[in-house]
Amino acid sequence: MKSKQFTLFALILVQILEQFMINVLAININNNNNILPLEHVTTTSLLTNNEASKLLLSPESYLSLSHYHSTCPDLEGIIHRQVQAWIRKDYTFAASLIRLHFHDCVVRGCDASILLSHKGSERRAKVSKTLRGFRIIDEIKAEVEKKCPKTVSCADILTAAARDATVVAGGPFWEVPFGRKDGKISSAREANRLVPQGHENVTTLIQIFRDHGLNILDLVVLSGAHTIGRSSCDAINHRLHNFNGTRKADPSLDTKYLNSLKKKCAASSHVYVDLDATTPRIFDTAYYTNLGRNMGLLSTDQLLNSDARTGPFVSVLASQPLVFSSQFAASMVKLGNIGVLARPNEGEIRFKCSSVNRAY
């Protein structure tokens, strides 16, 4: 077992180092201020600026760490101050902002379509009914518009806010490349079909992530965001009382944990319980340790521990907090680059995050 864990640990470190090298090399910017396409950057050869400019850039290659340096230099300061203030008032907003960002990115990519508020939008979907943080993004956008009008997209604000929420909660920092634009389409039907709802099996989860360019390690690592999240009793009542129609509790739940959950959820199905039962306010690896003790709140979380494809990663991350922090940052960068609208003539810079510009 120790040999297998060491092998997985080594593989994770290799992936982290490879991603680090790609990120470092990708900051070679050509004369048009476009980042060198990541798929054409290797540790052994670099294209010249002229060669790079002739290549078709992938959407995420248009993103840049310096995108707002001259047009909105205090952008990240504005976002961080607002996020920090909100989380100081209510620590649960940290998980809410990360979740809001995830919901946005798995439907049509990271284009702020989750923020659009109209009949039939993602925001009105059944799967979105417990989402929070919209007001935070609106207030950040309002302040940004005063200082940098018609310049910063809602998609970039949401992506950076999720990063800062992680940092304020005690998690890792990572650089967010900017240049996303906002989408004009938002569909509740798409959200209900594409967003995981807590009852999928591991095979389905793996496929959902692969469809977005994310691998099994990304699945296990990003699930670690549940170290600071909450869920309603309504989402887990079936595990407590009628698992798979048996009229009994889920046998995979630790007995003491099961009894504790039953007490907390006895009053109402609208009561919220922590996804991490031990350190719910701290961004740490207790989430993975709890899975090893059969204390995963959602069935999708607990299955990550028991499935042969994901379980070994859970074991490694539970005992390697530095690896978790480094890989969480890398996986969040990958998440934030999904389906971005960054090419010329794609998307728009919304003046208000809840409405497309034609409404003005």
Residues at the annotated binding site for heme b? 226
Q: Where are the beta strands (DSSP E) in the chain?
A: 230-232, 272-274
Of 80, 83, 84, 69, the C-alpha closest to 151 is 69
Diameter of the chain by CA atoms?
67
Q: What residues contact residue 88 under an 8 Å CB cut-off, 6+ apart?
A: none
> Which positions ≥6 away from 46 have C-beta within 8 Å?
25, 28, 36
DSSP string, 109-160: SSSSGGG--STTSGGGSGGGTT---HHHHHHHHHHHHHHSTTTS-HHHHHHH
Report the alpha-carbon distance of residue 325 to residue 327 in Å, rounded.
Answer: 6
Instruction: Give the Cα separation of 21 and 243 in Å (integer).
Output: 46
What the block records as the tokens of 203 is: 């095979």
Partners of residue 64 on adjacent β-strands:
178
**DSSP-based three-state secondary structure for 352:** strand
* Spatial separation of the C-alpha atoms in residues 21 and 16, rounded to whole Å: 9
Known binding residues for substrate are 196
Which of 229, 226, 220, 211 is closest to 107 using CA atoms? 211
User: Would you tell me how many other CB atoms lie within 10 Å of the CB of residue 356?
Assistant: 19
Of the listed 40, 103, 212, 238, which one is catalytic? 103
Which string of DSSP letters, residue by residue, matches 215-250? -HHHHHHHHGGGGS-EEEGGGTHHHHH-GGGSSS--
Which residues fall within 8 angstroms of residue 301, CB to CB, at 6 or more apart? 223, 226, 275, 287, 291
For 180-192, the DSSP string reads: -BB-S---HHHHH
> Catalytic residue at 80?
no
Residues belonging to the active site: 103
